[in-house]
Amino acid sequence: MHKVEFSEQVLARIARRRSKLHMYEELDAARTALVVVDMQTTFVAKEAAAEIPVAREIIPNINELASCVRETGGIVVWVISTYGPDEADRWPTFYNDVMDPEPGNRFRDALSTGAPGHTIQSDMDYQPEDVVVEKNRFGAFIGSQGRLEAELRGRSIDTLLITGTVTNICCETTAREAAALAFKTVMVEDANAARNDEEHNATLSTFLQAMGDVLPCHKVMSALRASSASAPADAVDLAS
Predicted confidence (pLDDT) per residue in 4-28, tens digit = 999 999 999 999 999 999 999 889 9
Pick 175 or 26 by higher pLDDT: 175
**Tens-digit pLDDT profile for residues 51-79:** 999 999 999 999 999 999 999 999 999 99
Average of pLDDT values for 98-120? 88
* Residue 214 scores a pLDDT above 90: yes
| List of residues 6+ apart from 19 with CB closer than 8 A | none
The CATH label, of 3.40.50.850, 3.40.50.300, 3.20.20.30, 1.20.1250.20, for the domain at 26-228 is: 3.40.50.850
User: Nearest 5 degrees, angle CA 50-CA 55-CA 56?
Assistant: 110
Taking a C-beta distance cutoff of 8 angstroms, is the pair 80, 120 a contact? yes
Specify the pLDDT at position 96.
Answer: 80
Helices in 73-216 by DSSP H: which ranges?
92, 101-111, 147-154, 172-180, 197-210
**Tens-digit pLDDT profile for residues 223-238:** 999 998 874 444 445 5
Distance CA(169)–CA(199), nearest Å, equals 10
